[in-house]
Amino acid sequence: MGKFENKVIIVTGAAGGIGKVTAKKFADEGAKLALVDLNLEAVQQVIVDLGLDETRAIALQANVAKEEEVKAYVDATVLKFGQIDGFFNNAGIEGTTKQIEDYPIETFDLVYNVNIKGAFLGLKYVLPVLKKQGFGAVVNTASGAGLMASPGMVGYIMSKHALIGITRVAALEAAPFGIRVNAVAPGIINTRMMRQIEENTLPGQGEAATKAFASAVPMGRYGEAEEVANVVSFLLSDEASYVTQSIYTVDGGQLNQ
């Protein structure tokens, strides 16, 4: 029996690199999944790829920055499965790479809406369900960028700093109800998002960008989505029963070098 046998977990950004891999880990451990993404077709394909049927998974389309759509995915999960045991509040975007004076306000607003407002709204509607149940856990996807700074990435870094603050407040508010709230802070992970960041940083020089980013990591390589999924799985499991308000870096030692 898996450690998530018959537990219900919501994953937002479930069609993305970390989201999809983490959903697979939960599925392999017996979980029932509510998989949320802006791209419904893509998240439906994730369910097919995982070999899950309608008793184990539901695909839900939502723009996480729209309150009514967030409420709808939470309501649909409870209607389908009767409860929520874990929430992987994962949806996010990287924005662009430009100096502050050149950073488009439209991109700034988009990053804010998805990465901050979207995470806040997820908590706003999931936490009352967990508090009413008296059990459950949340993991927000922050980033090493939420604990440091880097020129040219003001939108993304601003949003991940804010997400760490939201995590800490939510953890304190939820603790008296037996609910745990933590965050995972990935570093340089081998996903589509990093391909875009590489292109934004060194346009048309993918190999050089990869080498440059990897050289900044003490372990000398990119992390894999599976390595993030392992930490998320731990934090949502009963093995982390006394862990809350923590920020877990998964970055090959980059932050503290």
Of 62, 53, 119, the closest CA to residue 80 belongs to 53
How far apart, in whole angstroms, are the C-alpha atoms of residue 69 and residue 226? 29
8-state DSSP, 115: I
- Per-residue pLDDT for 194 more than 70? no
| 62: three-class secondary structure by DSSP | coil
Per the structure block, which two tokens stand in for 32?
A: 């029932």
Q: Which residues pair with 184 in a beta bridge?
A: 141, 248
User: Hey, what amino acid is at 113?
Assistant: N
CATH superfamily ID and name for 8-250 = NAD(P)-binding Rossmann-like Domain (3.40.50.720)
pTM of the model: 0.93
Catalytic residue among 73, 125, 156, 248: 156
Every domain of the chain and the residues it spans: 8-250
Verify whether residue 112 is a known catalytic residue: no
- Which residue do the tokens 């700074």 mark? 149
Residue-wise pLDDT for 121-158, tens only, equals 999 999 999 999 999 999 999 998 888 888 888 999 99
In 3-state terms the chain splits into helix, strand, coil percentages (rounded to 5) of 50, 15, 35
| 151: three-class secondary structure by DSSP | coil
Residue-wise pLDDT for 211-244, tens only, equals 777 777 778 888 899 999 999 999 999 999 999 9
How far apart, in whole angstroms, are the C-alpha atoms of residue 250 and residue 96? 23
Q: Are 8 and 77 in contact (CB under 8 A)?
A: yes
Contacts of 254 (CB under 8 A, 6+ apart): 144, 187, 188, 216, 217, 218
Q: Are 182 and 248 in contact (CB under 8 A)?
A: yes
**Which of the four pLDDT bands, split at 50, 70 and 90, describes residue 199?**
low
